[in-house]
Structure formats: C-alpha cells, structure tokens
Amino acid sequence: MSAGLRKKAVDALTQAEAEKELKNLAAEIAEHDVAYHREDAPTISDADYDALTRRNTEIEKRFPKLIRADSPSKKVGAAVASGFKKVKHVTPMLSLDNLFSEDDVTDFDARIRRFLKLGADEVIEFTAEPKIDGLSFSARYENGKLTVVATRGDGVEGEDITANIRTIKKGLPEKLVSADLLGQVPKLLEVRGEVYMTKSDFMAMNEAQAKKGGKIFANPRNAAAGSLRQLDTKITAERPLKLFAYAAGAVEGIEWATHWEFLGQLKAWGFPVNTDSKLCKSVKDLVKAYRDLEGRRAKLEYDIDGIVYKINRIDWQKRLGFVSRSPRWAAAHKFPAQQAETVLEKIEIQVGRTGSLTPVARLTPVTVGGVVVSNATLHNQDEIERKDIREGDTVVIQRAGDVIPQIVEVKLDQRPKNAKKYKFPDHCPVCGSKAHREEDEAILRCTGGLFCKAQAVERLRHFVSREAFDIEGMGEKNIEEFFAEGMIKTPADLFKLEKRDTDPLRKLQNREGWGPQSVRKLFDAINARRVISLERFIYALGIRLIGQAKARLLAQHYGSFKDWRKAMMAAARGNAEANAEVQNIESFGESVKDELVAFFAEKQNLEAIDDLADQLDTIEDFVQADTTNSKIAGQTVVFTGNLATMTRSEAKAKAQSLGAKVAGSVSAKTNLVVAGPGAGSKLKEAEKLGVKVISEDDFVALIGG
C-alpha cells in the first residue's frame, strides 16, 4: 500500500484498526529499510518513506499502549549485512528528529527553552549544517590513532569498513596531530561523518557503468553506499568517494566548550569539514540559513536533503540528552523532495557519434525544485527492462543539480491498461540500418557508419569541437542546419564551402543572421585550420576509443600522417606485424587495435580521410622531443612536495619534453622521485621501495639548468 492510500485520519482510527495498521507499517518500513540500507536500492521515494514513519509516530502517539516491540520508531537503520566484521560503537549512533516547517523550528526552540528553563530573551546558539545525503560512519581514534571505522548499522553495531574508507583520498587522517594542542591527544574519540559522492562524479560513474553494462545507481547516495560497502576494497578505491566529519561519539581525555570549537578542531586535525556550516543565534537566523541553503541547493556539488541544527554549547547538549533514538539538542529541518510525478509520453532513441543508441524519456513537462523538466535519461535497454518502463506510465522523476533527471520509480498502480512493454528497436531509427549489440556491451549500435545521418552530424560536431579542429563559429546549430541543407556531409566539405560558388553558398550569405562579414569570418576560421597537427587530425576523426591521449600516442608513435595511414591500412588488411605494433602502444591492447582496424576497413571512412587530407595544406608531423642529451629519457619520474623555482606543471612539462614519463604515485616502476619540502607519503613509499630520491636543485642540475 502506498502512503497516499492511507486515507483515514489518525483521530478516526479504532483501536483494532490502529493495531492492524501499526503491524503493517512495521513490516512495510522494515522492508524499505532493508532495500535502502542493505541493498542500496530503495523502492520508494524519501518523501513517501518519511510519510510512512510519520504516520507510524502519529498512531503511536494516540495509542501508546499499542507500540510494538519491533516498532520502526525504536530502530535506526538496518541490521548488519553479512560479509563484514561487526563493530560495536562505543556510543550508539542515533538519528535525528525531523522538522518539516518553520513552525516546527519555533517549537524545537521552545522545547529546548522549557527543558533548560531559559527565558525567551536568553540567547541560544545553534550551528546550522547542510544535511549531506550519504552514508554515515563512525571512526574510532585511540590515543590519537585511527583504529576502526564502521557504518551506522542498527545504531548499536555497524559493519567494519576500515579498509574501504582508507581508500578515500583526502579522507580520514591516520593520526590526530595539531599544533595548537601542543602534542596533547585524546584517549578516545569517535568522529562521525558522512561518506558521499558529488553529483558530477555520480553522473560520470553511471555513464561509465551504462557503457559497460554495470549496475546503474538511482542517486549519489546509493552510489556512495554501494561503492563503500564492497568486500573487495579495490572496487571502492576506483570509486570517486568523499567524506565530511561533523559530530563526536564517545570522547575521553579532551573537552570542548562548543560544537563550533569542535568543528574547528576537526579541521585542524585535517578532517574535511563542510565550509557551508553557520553559527546562528536565533530561530530567525536558523530559518534564514535554511532558506539560503535551499536557494543554493541545486548549485551545491553534493546532494543534501535538509539542514541540521545543533545546540552549540556542549554543557547544554549534555543536559538535554536523548529521547529514545534521537538527541533533544539537535534536529533535521528537511527540504521538500526534488522529485515529482509526471507522465512518460514517449521513449525516443538518440544516435551518438559512434552509433550508440541511447533511450531518452520525453515527459509531460513538470517543475522539479523550480526547474521545468521534460526529458529524462533511461541509460540503456537493460535499464528499461529492469524497471519495466513503458510509454504512458506515470513515473517519479528526480533531479539533482545540473544532472539530467532520472526516473526513480514507475507508479504501477497508475499504469494505463493498454500500456505495452517497450520493445527496443533492432534497427537504427534514423537510417534504418541494423542495430548490433556487441558481447560484453550494454549498448546497441547502429551499423550504418557515415551513411547514418545522425552519426554523420554527431561526427561533424566532434570534428569542429575545441579539442579537435576547433573551428570557431561552427556551433551545433549551424552544423545541423548546414547538414540538413546538404551543404556539408563530411569534414572535407567544410573546407570546400568557400570555393563552392553554388546555390547553397549564396543561400548561406542570404540566410537570416548572416551577412557578408559573418560569412567571411567563418571562412577565415576554417582556413586557419588548413594546417593542423597530426594528433588533432587523428582525434578529430572520432574513431571509437580514440580520445585525445590515445590520438597523441598514435601521432607520437607513427610520426607522420603518411606513416600512420600506411600502418593502419596494413593492420586493416590483416598484416600480423602491423596489428601487433598498434596493440603494443602503451595502454592500447586488443580493443583499441580492433577499433582502429574496423575503422580503416571501411572504404567510406578511408575516402573521407583522404578527401579531408586533400583539402588541408599540411598535417604536421609529430615533433619528437630531442632527447639525445637527456639524462631522464625513458624514465618514470614522480614529483612530490613543494617546488621553489618552478610550478608542478612546469616541472612535469619539462620532464616530458626530455622524454620522461611523469607519474602521480610511486611504485616499483618509478625510477626517480623529486622531493621538495613538505613531501609526505610518496617520499616514504620511495624510501620503502628503494627508489632514488633527489632534491629540486639536483633535478635542475640533472636537466641541465
């Protein structure tokens, strides 16, 4: 049953009805708890979940005798999942009472005043902190050293995630050292906080997951939880996790007068602490902080679902204490959910540059968090099937910042009777060629190549983009229009535009928004690119898997357009030596080689390349660095610490120009570490591995000043 269907007012319930409903609610909420906390795959929205727990609390308030032993109001989170060691928190991890309106905030303040017997004009300081929507942790420090980290679990006992959380860069400090404490360390301290993923990292990760057919997460919270709770910490290490510290559990051998001071101490110890937290002196201040944060919510780089108010004075916190599962001295003021229901009118297929067919949901426009939304991403075929999303369905969509909205839930009870299961096309919707799904891939691709209009337009867009030919004035809109009017079909056509004294050109000069001057400017921009570097040329072709880095490596390896073309043709003809040669370039391997071979095996691709090369004045050879006198050619170098005479990027560029590889971390493959003042873990690692370490001065001498 969904929350909306529970219509009967609590006041009108009979005792028997209340008893039955409390039993149902306990079972239903427990199910959602497991889905949310243990499987990281909630089946209802946070707002609906809150409505269920609120209803439960209201019924319990009216019928206190009916409160069940397994009541959701007595529980925090979910019991420990199997596979992880259990850790008992020294002090239980509690949750927070929710406030839903500004009146609730006034009541919160009034309750505190009553409890502490404070007059109305006495100032109570509060902190107001963003309520991060992530996964909470408790990190135990004994005599200043990090010993164990656990998830919240059921509040009393959590899962041991020490190894997992240690993979987070700039995360928890291993030791509590800070100058202002003069060497003093607390005997025991539990630092609490939240592990989260930024919205942009979440989007990028989901995109990568969609490509390889991996698990797609509904939101950054689930992605963070799913990434952190991996038995294999290598997976956690690959995920872009971050954390904030914001509270203390057990404390022994140290004291603070206020929570604000405590936050400052955390910062001094090196914990990441949220800089958006504020110190407030009245309910008015709290409401202001709330409105201010809500206004900036969409722009923040992480998801928040509210703001947390905490009494600043620790002695008052102690006096106020706890009620059942939450403190009296803190509360969470929730934001309205950035979710909305709307109708999915149509599922459309978008064709990408390399032929990928991506499903997109066209929605009846609806406002979510102040923004009108009419499209949502559906990722891939598997995702549609897994959620059984159909045209005509009412769906719950969720928006986070600038992120493309996602569908989090299908309202099955509102499905039209005639809704048909969505059948993913087996042909390209634009050119009609067969769509093909490669093994190990979740994405279907149009096999039409350049013959496919959609692919051709996407490729042209890529071709003129900044990192490729960088043709100013040739935006997306122009490409689409010029293509539709038959003026350009392939990259070479761009360079033929000016010479062509034909109808399309006259059309160009006479079109709206264009005069002789703007046409001249466009032609100049195009002409300026008749000289192009080999690496840009290769990258601009838009061959699958050939991004900027690989294009550069190809250019570096083959040196000239002529030699590259010759080698690629040989590989495409099946020449074993040529194949082995490409495959062995640095990070390439078989898949990259296969893509290059497939590209050059297509006659039309080759024609397009040659046609383009004919139009250009020069494809510049790759300039190999002169490394004859270099003492570091072929070596792997790592820079660490501060450099005095040059910036890190300068040092890196210098080393690379002398034929060295620059790495970000020290490993057995490292030949040389250049360490400046302040060098830390990398220097230690180098010493451990016996890697040669030199100073900046030595480095300058080595590279010849």
271 touching ligand IVH, by CB under 6 A: no
Span interacting with ligand IVH, options 3-11, 178-186, 324-332, 544-552, rule CB under 6 A = 324-332
Q: Of the candidates 224, 330, 474, 592, which one interacts with ligand IVH according to CB under 6 A? A: 330
246 touching ligand IVH, by CB under 6 A: yes
- How many residues form the binding site for ligand IVH (CB under 6 A)? 14
Q: Is the dihedral of CA 125, 129, 131, 137 positive or negative?
A: negative
Burial of residue 123, with CB atoms counted within 10 A of its CB: 0-12 exposed, 13-18 middle, 19 or more buried:
exposed
How far is residue 459's CA from residue 483's CA, in Å, rounded to a whole number?
Answer: 11
Give whichever of 277 and 635 is closer to ligand IVH, judged by the CB atom. 277
Closest CA to 305 of 136, 137, 132: 132
Burial of residue 436, with CB atoms counted within 10 A of its CB: 0-12 exposed, 13-18 middle, 19 or more buried:
middle
Report the Cα 543 to chain-centroid distance in Å. Answer: 26
Q: Which residues of 621-636 are buried (b: 16+ CB within 10 A; e: fewer)?
A: ebeeeeeeebebeebb
Q: Of the candidates 132, 218, 263, 551, which one interacts with ligand IVH according to CB under 6 A? A: 132
Q: Of the candidates 45, 73, 136, 198, which one interacts with ligand IVH according to CB under 6 A? A: 136
Span interacting with ligand IVH, options 26-34, 56-64, 128-136, 549-557, rule CB under 6 A = 128-136
Bridge partners for 193 per DSSP: 137, 245
| Residue number closest to ligand IVH, CB atom | 136
The active-site residue, picked from 75, 131, 423, 669, is 131
159 touching ligand IVH, by CB under 6 A: no
Span interacting with ligand IVH, options 124-132, 223-231, 383-391, 654-662, rule CB under 6 A = 124-132
Closest CA to 258 of 280, 241, 230, 285: 280
How far is residue 654's CA from residue 186's CA, in Å, rounded to a whole number?
Answer: 46
Give whichever of 60 and 305 is closer to ligand IVH, judged by the CB atom. 305
194 touching ligand IVH, by CB under 6 A: yes
How far is residue 25's CA from residue 27's CA, in Å, rounded to a whole number?
Answer: 5
247 touching ligand IVH, by CB under 6 A: yes
How far is residue 282's CA from residue 294's CA, in Å, rounded to a whole number?
Answer: 18
Give whichever of 80 and 96 is closer to ligand IVH, judged by the CB atom. 96
* Residue 180 DSSP label: G
Q: Of the candidates 48, 60, 129, 696, which one interacts with ligand IVH according to CB under 6 A? A: 129
57 touching ligand IVH, by CB under 6 A: no
How far is residue 145's CA from residue 139's CA, in Å, rounded to a whole number?
Answer: 10
309 touching ligand IVH, by CB under 6 A: no
Dihedral, 390, 396, 401, 405 alpha carbons, nearest 10: 0
Span interacting with ligand IVH, options 106-114, 327-335, 621-629, 648-656, rule CB under 6 A = 327-335
332 touching ligand IVH, by CB under 6 A: yes
Q: 292: which 2 tokens?
A: 């201010």
Report the Cα 342 to chain-centroid distance in Å. Answer: 25
Question: Is 566 an annotated catalytic residue?
Answer: no
Q: 624: which 2 tokens?
A: 């190999």
CB of 30 to ligand IVH, least distance (A): 18
Residues 91-120 that bind ligand IVH (CB under 6 A): 94-96
Span interacting with ligand IVH, options 89-97, 207-215, 279-287, 374-382, rule CB under 6 A = 89-97
320 touching ligand IVH, by CB under 6 A: no
How far is residue 487's CA from residue 508's CA, in Å, rounded to a whole number?
Answer: 9
Residues at the site binding ligand IVH, with contacts judged by CB under 6 A:
94-96, 129, 131-132, 136, 194, 246-247, 308, 327, 330, 332
Catalytic residues: 131
